[in-house]
Amino acid sequence: MKMSVGLRTSSFAKLNRCVPWNLNVRKYVSDQLLADGEVKKSRIPLNIDTNMLKIGFLGGGKMAQALAKGLIRAGLSKGEMMLASCLPTDTGSIETFKEMKSNTVFTNVPVIDHGDVLILSVKPQVVPKVLPEFRIHDNKKLLISIAMGVSLASLEKALPKETPVIRVMPNTPALVGCGATVFARGKYASDKDAEITEKLFSAVGICEEVPETFIDPVTALAGSGPAYIYMVIEAMADGGVKMGLTRPIAYKLAAQTVLGAGTMVLETKLHPGQLKDDVSSPAGSTITGVHQLEKHGLRSAIITAVEAATLRCKEVSSQTEKN
Ligand SMILES: NC(=O)c1ccc[n+]([C@@H]2O[C@H](COP(=O)([O-])OP(=O)(O)OC[C@H]3O[C@@H](n4cnc5c(N)ncnc54)[C@H](OP(=O)(O)O)[C@@H]3O)[C@@H](O)[C@H]2O)c1
C-alpha cells in the first residue's frame, strides 16, 4: 500500500517548528559520531551547486517520493528537473510526481538518459531487471542505490565498468524530513560523488558516511528502529489509557515524549543514562517505573532485537546476492 507523502509533509511542518533538526541535530550527531571515532564523517565542505542537478528516479515509490519532496522543500532541486519511472498501474505515484511538477515515464532508459544523478529506488528483487538497462547506455553517471541488501560489489559487477556507485540506507522518517541515513561509497565513487550524496540525503534528515560493513547493523537500528519506537509509543499510550487517559491525548503525549527525549540526547550531548538519572528522584515515581522496565528486560529486549534484525539483514543480503 502506498503512503501519502503529502500528509506526512504537513506533519513535518509542525515538527520542524519545534525541532531544529536541519541545523543543530545534524551537527550534534556528527560531533558525537566523530567523538566515538566510529564513523567516517564526510569531511569536505558542501560547496556544490546541486540546484542544477537533474535527478532520475529508477522506481517512483514512497522512498523516491519522500526524497523528491525533501529535495524540493530544501531548495536543492525543482520538480521540473526530476524524472521518475513508474509502472503504468502505479497511478498514485504518477499523480504524486505530477503534483511536484515532475514528469514520469513507464520505462527506465529515459530516466538513465535524463539524470545527472540516478537514484535506484526499486525493490531489491527488481534491481537485477533494471541494472542491465545501464549496459545499453554505458554511461558513467553517479548511481545512488537505496535498495536494501544489494551490495556495492554486486551493483558494480552488473553495471558498466567503473560506474560510480554509492549505497545508501535511509529510513522512513525521511518522509517527514527526520530521516537517519548512512551511505557507503563504491570503488569508483569520488569525493564529489560522496558530497552530492550527503547533500541530497541531508535534505531529508541526517546523513553520514560509513564503511559498508555498517550497513546491516544500521538497517537493524535506524531502518527498523521506527517500528520498535512505534511499539514503545503504543505501549506507553496503553499504559496511560489503563490509568484513565483518553486515547488521543495518550498517543500525542507518548509521541511528543519520544521526540523530546531524542532531541534532548542530541542537543545536550549528555549520556542517555545521565538524562535518565536526572529525572529519577529518590523514592520517586520515575525510578519506580524504571525498576519495572529493568525487571521486564527492556534493555535486553532491544539489544536482542537489533542483534536479530542485523543477522536477518545479513541472511536476506546473501539470498539477494545469490539470485
Ligand atoms: N521504505 C523504507 O523504509 C525503505 C528504507 C530503506 C531502503 N528502502 C529501499 O528503497 C527501495 C524502494 O522502497 P519503497 O519503500 O519506496 O518501495 P515502493 O514504494 O514499492 O517503490 C518501488 C517502486 O518501484 C516500482 N517498480 C517496480 N518495478 C519497476 C521497474 N521494473 N522499473 C521501474 N520501477 C519499478 C514500483 O511500482 P509498483 O508499486 O507498481 O510495483 C514502486 O513504485 C527498496 O529497495 C527498499 O529496500 C526502503
50 pocket-lining for ligand 1 (C-beta < 6 Å):
no
pLDDT of 51 reads 57
Complete edge-to-edge strand list for the sheet that includes strand 82-85: 103-105, 82-85, 55-58, 117-120, 142-145, 165-169, 179-185, 205-209
Q: Which of 109, 221, 213 is nearest to 152 (CA)?
A: 213
| Beta carbons within 10 angstroms of residue 9's beta carbon | 17
Q: What is the pTM of this model?
A: 0.82
Q: Which CA distances in Å does 19 have to 104, 249, 251, 264?
A: 34, 20, 19, 10
The parts of the chain modelled with pLDDT lower than 50 are 1-47
Atom of ligand 1 nearest to the CA of 124: 45
63 pocket-lining for ligand 1 (C-beta < 6 Å):
yes
Q: Tell me the H-state helices in 151-280.
A: 152-158, 191-202, 215-218, 225-242, 247-268, 272-278
pLDDT of 49 reads 57
Which three cell numbers mark 185?
561509497
Domain 220-311 coded CATH 1.10.3730.10 = yes
pLDDT of 156 reads 95
Overall size of the chain counted in residues: 323
pLDDT tens for residues 140-157?
Answer: 899 999 998 899 999 999
Alpha-carbon distance 32 to 111, whole Å?
38
Q: According to the annotation, is 98 in a ligand binding site?
A: no
Mapping DSSP to helix (H, G, I), strand (E, B) and coil, where does residue 220 land? helix
φ/ψ of residue 68, rounded to 5: -60, -45
CA of 126 to the centre of ligand 1 (A): 8
pLDDT of 138 reads 67
Which CATH number is associated with domain 55-210? 3.40.50.720
Ligand 1 pocket test, candidate residues 87, 111, 224, most atoms within 8 A of CB:
87
Which three cell numbers mark 242?
489503563
90 pocket-lining for ligand 1 (C-beta < 6 Å):
yes
pLDDT of 234 reads 98
Domain boundaries, the chain: 55-210, 220-311
| Beta carbons within 10 angstroms of residue 257's beta carbon | 13
CA of 122 to the centre of ligand 1 (A): 4
Q: According to the annotation, is 236 in a ligand binding site?
A: no
61 pocket-lining for ligand 1 (C-beta < 6 Å):
yes
